[in-house]
Amino acid sequence: MAIACSTSSRVDDLGSGFDQSPTVYPLYKADESSGIPNARASIDLETVRDPANPDTFLMQVTLPTMTAYLPDASLATGTAVVICPGGGYRGVSIVKEGYDIAQRFNREGIAAFVLKYRDPLDATMADKKFGPLQDVQQAIGLVRENAARWNIDANKVGVMGFSAGGHLASSAAVHYNDPVLERWQAADLRPNFQVLVYPVVSFTGEVAHKGSRTNLLGENFNAQWQQYFSNETQVTEATPPAFLVHAGDDGSVPVENSLDYYRALKSNNVSAGMLILPSGGHGFGMRNPIDWFATMNQWLQEEGF
């Protein structure tokens, strides 16, 4: 099993003890009769796109994990967030949009769980369009199920995503009432908040990120699923509160993805905040002259998280 993590991380399962160093957990137990849901028999296809680059970008993720970053007990607020790094549904930017973010959350007393979700591949999945959503629902359910153990308030479990990871996070936020895993009920899966950073949201029209759409749905996608995963069309009054961050000069994922989602939230009376940065393009993580994380953290505090 190939696991990418920081050098101080260790691999564990949910039956063992834990400490405050980052710990990597398999997302599904090896001894579960069903194994990884929706999976075809396959070798582990995972590779690193550019091994010399410290911003590790994983390709063809086959075996999903989550890495737990727990804050010092003296700082812990009880809030937790599942982080979905971006990668266009063809990889996972696990450092810049994962581990680095988790460490910043820990300094604010927030527990963070970096999700290494499966890339939607026909070779490894029976129905690839649901694989990533299964993984994020599993992660949210596990964090809530283990809330007491990890010093977390089960009513303060959110989801965060970057780029295509933002699409996955918003999918978790709008489709929690439609569980894609038999183990969980909707009440287990509803995030208490969502944070979307330069997110892919729509799969329709000129604002759609066609690469993410093709990678998730395939070239000859059904219009039903295009609409289902155009998350701005799926917002209801029960959708969790949201904070969005986007650069106005994003040339890869148009800022209209965030604007349209924000409008949908407001039209359904969902509490929402948004920060449009003047520059930064796409994929900057926290490396922007404006500290958007500080503004987001203030929003979390104001929302009671």
What letter does residue 125 receive in the DSSP assignment?
B
Q: CA angle, 87 as apex, 232 and 14 as ends, to 5°?
A: 95
Residue 295: strand, helix, or coil: helix
Site of tokens 């990890």: 150
Residue found under tokens 């550019």:
50
Q: Locate 78 and state its tokens.
A: 């009880």
pTM above the 0.75 mark? Answer: yes
Helix, strand or coil for residue 58? strand
**pLDDT digit string (tens) for the chain, length 305 residues:** 333 333 345 556 665 444 468 999 999 986 554 589 999 988 889 999 999 999 999 999 999 999 999 999 999 999 999 999 999 999 999 999 999 999 999 999 999 999 999 999 999 999 999 999 999 999 999 999 999 999 999 999 999 999 999 999 999 999 999 999 999 999 999 999 999 999 999 999 899 999 999 999 999 888 999 999 999 999 999 999 999 999 999 999 999 999 999 999 999 999 999 999 999 999 999 999 999 999 999 999 999 99
Asked whether 171 and 232 are in contact (CB, 8 A), the reply is no
Q: What is the fold, at CATH topology level, of the domain defined by 22-302?
A: Rossmann fold (3.40.50)
Domain spans of the chain, in order of start: 22-302
Of 118, 105, 34, which Cα lies nearest the Cα of 70?
105
